[in-house]
Structure 1
């Protein structure tokens, strides 16, 4: 026990303080807004950036998708940040973070002189107000929309609706103006990296109260949010909210001249939703936008030849075929789920539909991350094996509803229709009748599959938020979810134990075993692929740094 405690202290100290001691920055190190700032680049101007889907809202707490996060991360800062272009931790609103020996207490030394966009001070009281807000959130509708909070903090002061976990959060104390102390009920391996999640951006307490931020209502399958979330987002970030024109599908942000860090060179950013990737490409060539994300792999060469700057990110994501065991009893049978896995020709999909550098996924995390197991059960494409397993299960005439998203492009899913069609054809070759059901990404799809569980099969994926196996396995399978329609306390406990294992070697070994068991004993979904997504910009756009976490910030960007 003593040896374990020593190991825990070492691991916590290394994780908690690496990047906090040597990399601490102070507000006095702010860059001047001139041509020399941030390594050069002109100041002023408006950047128009094409996005693949409309934003969900502007309160990061209730967000769970990348296009919205791209916008909110410009307006909000987190206590811990990620070094540009990496998954390494660096100071954010906290200059330093220090864990207790048992990992249950975290002390944050905060930056001085930081202000929210409404002019109110950022301080320890504001930090505690945010943590208490999340923990005390009332209402089943609001709690159901706090996806990241549920994955990381597991439970609320009073769980409502589907929330059922024991809360990780215990309390927060403003020790003094610039020192916040966070108390947890248990150690969690997600920290300190999870403090850098966009969903945990710090909001102005005054604005939260003034604009009734916690008001979330549900009518049927639709959710409505407060004026804070829709019109008055108030963080400490390098850009401030100006407007959202829903008819034009544009969000406009303006430079925060009082920003504590490197002030933005741009005067404005306009995020313009253009759902069709080909239309985004045409607008780039017409110079009506300055860049866009999620470039179709088939366009890489042509865009580079035309003088545009293509910026691929390192692959740190996963596409999977989700299997809902709730609606169709046949899918409760492991043999049937294994048959689905054998039926999929993932190798051909990667070669024909994905960019160079994409790989077939053998399990539910990248091989570059500790916890990856090289000896998991694999499911190579084998139609005869799939048919055999279906026959053994008495399901040779299986019919499944396969949901896929429209009006979206994702890093792991550049063309959802092509991917869904290819996978559906694979399943049909194994004798399965497939009904393809298209649903708009932010207009029903995510709610249908992740909250209401209407589907039998669906495609969706995950972009890593930080470098820990728990951000994949725990996010997917750490608790019961309508997406998969299964409740497996044994697996949930296994992943919780892995997450709470502090010794590095034991932590890795626990996730390796979890990967083995998921692929052989449970198979609640089928991993498909990982892909290196790319964004493209005009040649006069400088200073954007590609992030494996899709965590690009625009304050360093200039327009020549």
Structure 2
């Protein structure tokens, strides 16, 4: 996902890598403030725990979401945020530390019941769950939500398409906007209003993770109008939209039809949730420090300019440095010359000074030099470095040798993308640009807004080819906590699509595609885990991905923020289901 998840299988590793920090209980800190406000406290505990109802939680974001429609989003922060108004079949437990990686039933009564061959999965929905207009939520609403989100790229192109890939007949079904038959896709059965059955085309042991996707949040067919649905989303959660101004703001208020008896995981403490978009990222930081807002919705941490303010003095106790379970990398598109030549790609691999990239992004608090696509906290990670350079500072001689082999001894010109509202990413792109100049590669930086980065620009092959976007900035976290959940949508040829794509390299290697398919079908967990590390090496051998940084988030929590804890299920940001206001 556009920066998303880590692995349940490495919960113990996470506890160590996060320093097992500050796991004290309640009480008062040195300044007499309530809660356990210590540095890194939110990594393993709930800071400023409270049962107080009321108040307003306020978020700001430096750009716009790809969409707040749960069925049309691929950003991790939206999937975290959308749990306030959309209930999914399963979800990640709102809890501190490793408990937050546990998948628990949400709209469903229990986790899925698989057939012996793991090709059929059955869920029973809780009774008594209603939409905001008082109509009951049924299994048909969940089925329809999956159909619209996975099978209608002409209207909803931002989200993943796992259901389309793994449901029987998924390659033939045209989606609900073209196929008007009432039965929809036959491989999702709804024998009654509270039962939904999925028939898959191959074994899929990770299906309960797939059921956590916001795409399983129910949508009433009669209220859906495709891409316009975001203007009037029908809530199944504790909050509903009071207002929505596209590109500007949204306000959520209590949903009177939400019944806490049917929802064991949400306390829904705030009366109101507000979010504003297109706020300068440094302004967002300043508003956090002055306690004017509750959290930065993006969840990626403060900007480099803000770091000195929060890492020293009294403010340090309000920070949490979390591993994001994500890798920042450079995608080299194989259909944009000269990157159709592997030696030109290898020249970039050796030319880049990765340490300068880390420094540009904010140094150690923002991450470590990356040498693999899989980050160390994801199941299947294997330590290796295919394109090692001294001190991770690049190797000019090797880069120039590769340039000779690709027929460009004097270098070449290309374009390098970055998201305009992410200063750290722009700074990283500048560091890459400077390193490439040393070997004769001239890269012009093209900036695009993050909200449309994938739907209109970097994720649209026709646009990429036409505008010669040879090198594209990318950050990725696991769609769910396994190596497959990290790799599939960014290296599988089947993930290439007309818009909203994440395989920015347009890598379509038959051996890699086959290894992914066979790996997820393997019921031997140890062998399956081994496969993900092997695929990582295969990808690096293609030289299409330049790993840059294993991402960390330097998060800041204002004193008025209550029930604050980091969730590794959503890329090391704060858990928005738990968060409330102490004001």
TM bracket, shorter-chain basis:
0.7 to 0.9
> Which of 125, 129, 139 is residue 114 of structure 1 equivalent to?
129
- Calculate the TM-score normalised by the size of structure 1: 0.80
Match of 2:505 in 1: 484
Match of 1:217 in 2: none
Superposed CA offset, 1:303-327 (max 9, x none) = 3645473233333011110111212
> Structure 1's 351 and 189: CA in aligned 2 closer, same or farther, altered over 3 A?
farther
After TM superposition, the structure 1 stretch with the greater mean CA deviation from structure 2, 356-365 or 172-181, is 172-181
Distance 2:187 2:458 in 1: 34
Select the structure with the greater relative contact order (CA < 8 A; seq sep ≥ 6): 2
> Which of 326, 330, 333 is residue 324 of structure 1 equivalent to?
333
SS in 1 for 2:339: helix
> Which of 160, 180, 204 is residue 196 of structure 2 equivalent to?
180
Distance 1:48 1:76 in 2: 19
Matches for 1:30-429 after TM superposition, within 5 Å: 40-84=50-94, 85=96, 86-96=100-110, 97-134=112-149, 137-138=151-152, 140-142=153-155, 144-149=157-162, 153=166, 155-158=170-173, 171-198=187-214, 200-205=215-220, 208-212=221-225, 214=226, 225-226=227-228, 228-229=229-230, 231-246=231-246, 249-257=248-256, 258-260=258-260, 261=263, 262-292=266-296, 293=299, 294-297=301-304, 299-300=306-307, 302-303=309-310, 305=313, 307=315, 309-328=318-337, 330-351=338-359, 353-354=361-362, 355-356=364-365, 358-375=367-384, 377-380=386-389, 381-396=394-409, 397-407=411-421, 409=422, 415-429=424-438
Aligned-pair CA distance for 1:153: 4.2
Distance 2:527 2:413 in 1: 43
Gaps of 5+ in 1: 1-13, 16-37, 161-168, 215-224
Contact 1:118-1:204 at 8 Å conserved across structures: no
Distance 1:352 1:173 in 2: 51
Distance 2:431 2:134 in 1: 53
Distance 1:88 1:232 in 2: 31
- Calculate the TM-score normalised by the size of structure 2: 0.77
> Which of 459, 465, 470 is residue 473 of structure 2 equivalent to?
459
Contact 1:313-1:547 at 8 Å conserved across structures: no
After TM superposition, the structure 1 stretch with the greater mean CA deviation from structure 2, 281-290 or 47-56, is 281-290
Superposed CA offset, 1:393-419 (max 9, x none) = 211231111111112x3xxxx612111
Aligned-pair CA distance for 1:80: 1.2
How many residue pairs were aligned? 491
> Structure 1's 400 and 428: CA in aligned 2 closer, same or farther, altered over 3 A?
same
Distance 2:91 2:397 in 1: 49
Contact 1:172-1:180 at 8 Å conserved across structures: yes
SS in 2 for 1:93: coil
Superposed CA offset, 1:108-137 (max 9, x none) = 1322211122221123333333344446x4
Gaps of 5+ in 2: 1-7, 10-47, 176-184, 498-503
Aligned-pair CA distance for 1:504: 0.9
Distance 1:463 1:275 in 2: 24
Match of 1:9 in 2: none
Distance 2:77 2:384 in 1: 35
Distance 1:110 1:246 in 2: 32
Compute the RMSD of aligned alpha carbons.
2.8
Distance 1:41 1:299 in 2: 32
Superposed CA offset, 1:505-554 (max 9, x none) = 2212222221221112x122211111221432320211022112247223
Matches for 1:23-34 after TM superposition, within 5 Å: none
After TM superposition, the structure 1 stretch with the greater mean CA deviation from structure 2, 441-450 or 528-537, is 441-450
After TM superposition, the structure 1 stretch with the greater mean CA deviation from structure 2, 38-47 or 384-393, is 38-47
